[in-house]
Amino acid sequence: MRLTFILCFLSFTSIAQNFTSTVKSKKTKQPLSYVNVSILNKRVGTSTNLDGEFSINLEKYKKDTLLISCLGFSTKRLDISSVLKNPTAYREIYLEDELSSLDDVVINVKKKKYGSKHSLGLRKKWFYSRVGVQFGMEQAILIPNDKSKVGKIEEVSFWVGKEEQLFYNSRLTWFRIKFYSYDKEKNEPKELLSYQDIIVKPQENEKQNLKVDVSSYHIYFPKDGVCVVIETVNPKPSKESDNQYITYPQLIYSNESKNRAWKRYRGNNWFQQSEEHRSTSAIIGFEKKYYIAPALKIKVRYEK
């Protein structure tokens, strides 16, 4: 009896420490699924389930900020100390539609005439990494525009490896594809080029070239190139894992001579990828440094 009481008490305490809320659209009042919820500048977070609900422990982060981000909506920042003081006031959190000129951009892209397809991307030297990233991790890759001519993006494709559930806490992941313009001054992804929620669902235990036709979305291809983002998405956000897990299937990567990749976690700040590989020639004693980026390719049509 006493043991049962202790277990029940511990379970209740754990639940009581979690902040639970529902994220909704301010315009439609409908719940928003797969919304990223995280502690600002920390790799701690979760996502909303199909009913827009999430639960997260905030007790350790009283002096921090809760970051709530969703494709097509303005990012919301909440002072965690305020949330903990009056949690009932935040049982429902509303996000405003992103104010953007994207509609005008799409209309303009539709009006133009385009030439034949061209393939661009980072797929010269492949290697397979067995490092599974967390749910909510976004990996961005800059695809340069060597012609410096505007166009539209027709297709995106990337490879994932044949991967079985190797560990006791391996989790199948989906992938979300996003497109950003490139900020030359800050050297990072800048503005969204499409609000389409593009989710890719890979097969289990199978090497795959995942291709997505995006021609109907009329996505603008800027003169400075495009940053393509691959985000790991939890197919079952109601069953969020702790930090001790890996996701699969894992991306196949490419060795690149220039560092054109970035990461961020659930809408936080972008940071430059630091992973690098070194190749040494035994004949001439020359060492060359490479940076890694997902082996990704796009097809574009340039304006006539």
Cα 240 from chain centroid (whole Å): 16
Backbone angles phi, psi at 206, to 5 degrees: -155, 125
Measured over the CA atoms of residue 130, residue 131, residue 132 and residue 138, the dihedral's sign is negative
Count of all residues that appear for the chain in the document: 304
The upper half-sphere exposure of residue 82, i.e. CA atoms within 13 Å in the direction of its Cβ, equals 7
Instruction: Taking residues 82-109, report their average pLDDT.
Output: 87
Which of 39-53, 148-162, 236-250 has the weakest average pLDDT?
236-250
**End-to-end Cα spacing for the chain:** 79
**Is the domain of 272 the same as that of 243?**
yes
Note the pLDDT of residue 243. Answer: 63
Beta bridge partners of 78: 66
**Is the domain of 41 the same as that of 106?**
no
Instruction: Taking residues 113-122, report their average pLDDT.
Output: 90
Note the pLDDT of residue 23. Answer: 98
Query: Of 69-73, 108-112, 162-166, where does the model show the most confidence?
Result: 69-73
pLDDT higher than 70, residue 227:
yes
Average confidence score pLDDT of the chain = 85
Q: What CATH code is carried by the domain that includes residue 80? A: 2.60.40.1120
Note the pLDDT of residue 5. Answer: 41
As for how many domains the chain has, the answer is 2
Please list, in sequence order, all residues whose beta carbon lies within 8 angstroms of the beta carbon of residue 121, skipping any fewer than 6 positions away: 143, 295, 296, 297, 298
In the chain, % of residues over pLDDT 70: 81
pLDDT digits (tens, 9 = 90+) for 251-277: 888 888 889 999 999 999 999 966 565
**Is the domain of 91 the same as that of 109?**
no
pLDDT higher than 60, residue 32:
yes
Note the pLDDT of residue 6. Answer: 39
**Is the domain of 86 the same as that of 117?**
no
74 CB neighbour count, 10 Å cutoff: 14
Instruction: Taking residues 234-254, report their average pLDDT.
Output: 77
Angle in degrees, CA 297, 299, 302, rounded to 5: 140
In the chain, % of residues over pLDDT 90: 58
Note the pLDDT of residue 131. Answer: 62
Note the pLDDT of residue 279. Answer: 57
pLDDT digits (tens, 9 = 90+) for 171-225: 889 999 999 999 999 999 999 999 999 999 998 777 889 999 999 999 999 999 9
Q: Which of 95, 115, 134 is the last residue of a domain?
A: 95
**Is the domain of 173 the same as that of 208?**
yes
**Is the domain of 170 the same as that of 255?**
yes
Confidence of residue 3 (pLDDT cuts 50, 70, 90): very low
Question: pTM, whole model, 2 decimals?
Answer: 0.85
**Is the domain of 130 the same as that of 253?**
yes
Map the chain to HEC letters: CHHHHHHHHHHHHHHHHEEEEEEEECCCCCECCCCEEEECCCCCEEECCCCCEEEEECHHHCCCEEEEECCCECCEEEEHHHHHHCHHHHCEEEECECCCCHHHHHHHHHHCCEEEEEEEEECCCEEECCCCCCCCEEEEEEECCCCCCCEEEEEEEEEECCCCCCCCCEEECEEEEEEEEEECCCCEEEEECCCCCEEECCCCCCCEEEEEECHHHCEEECCCCEEEEEEEECCCHHHCCCCCCEEECCEEEEEECCCCEEEEECCCCCEECCCEEEEECCCCCCEEEEEEEECEEEEEEEEC
Instruction: Taking residues 107-131, report their average pLDDT.
Output: 78
pLDDT higher than 50, residue 13:
no
**Is the domain of 46 the same as that of 121?**
no
**Is the domain of 222 the same as that of 275?**
yes
Backbone angles phi, psi at 84, to 5 degrees: -70, -30
Domain containing 47: what range? Answer: 2-95
**Is the domain of 150 the same as that of 73?**
no
Instruction: Taking residues 105-119, report their average pLDDT.
Output: 87
Q: Which of 95, 121, 136 is the last residue of a domain?
A: 95
Please list, in sequence order, all residues whose beta carbon lies within 8 angstroms of the beta carbon of residue 4, skipping any fewer than 6 positions away: none
**Is the domain of 167 the same as that of 218?**
yes
Cα 20 to Cα 55, 135, 176, 240, 266: the distances in Å are 4, 19, 25, 13, 18
d(CA 75, CA 73): 6
Q: Which of 66, 95, 124 is the last residue of a domain?
A: 95
Note the pLDDT of residue 202. Answer: 92
**Is the domain of 18 the same as that of 48?**
yes
